[in-house]
Amino acid sequence: MMAKGYQITNKDNDTKNRSYKADEGGTHIDVDIRLDGKRLFIEIQTNELDQYDIIRNSIAQYINKDSMATDVQTYTVKNLGTIYITVNDTVPYNPLKREYDIHIMSDKHLTAYN
């Protein structure tokens, strides 16, 4: 992550949790990586539309129509896990900027060692 220009903001060697941040020209990307036992959780908060588009376009075919909610898009990817995407308006309101929250939760049968 640091080779891609992210700065580490929090590093906890006991729990093996990491937080990274990238700020550039009014946009931000915050990545939290949490290891819970052997399962890996990734949370991405960004207002960068390109980052959102890359992730959404790569998983668009895996949308889970059974768990559609108005606020949350849910994708179930085989051999990966479940991805939840939430899109919110920014404060103060700007129609060109939105906040994207992307949560990647590994399948319960997958571990960080896979």
pLDDT tens-digit map of 4-18:
888 999 888 887 899
Cβ atoms 105, 49 nearer than 8 A? no
In a domain, 100, yes or no: yes
Q: Is 45 helix (H, G, I), strand (E, B) or coil?
A: strand
What is this structure's pTM? 0.81
Let me know if residue 111 belongs to a domain.
no
**Is 68 a member of any domain?**
yes
Residue 67, pLDDT score: 67
Domain limits for position 79: 2-106
Please report whether residue 81 resides in a domain: yes
Domain count, the chain: 1
- Residue 102's pLDDT band, with cuts at 50, 70 and 90, is very high
In a domain, 114, yes or no: no
d(CA 48, CA 42): 17
Condensed to tens digits (0 to 9), the pLDDT of residues 51-99 reads 889 988 998 888 877 666 667 888 888 878 889 999 888 888 887 788 9
Residue 11 in tokens: 């590093």
Residue 42 lies inside a defined structural domain of this protein: yes
For residue 46, tell me if it sits in a domain. yes
- ∠ CA 111-85-11, nearest 5°, is 50
**43 within a domain of the structure (yes/no):** yes
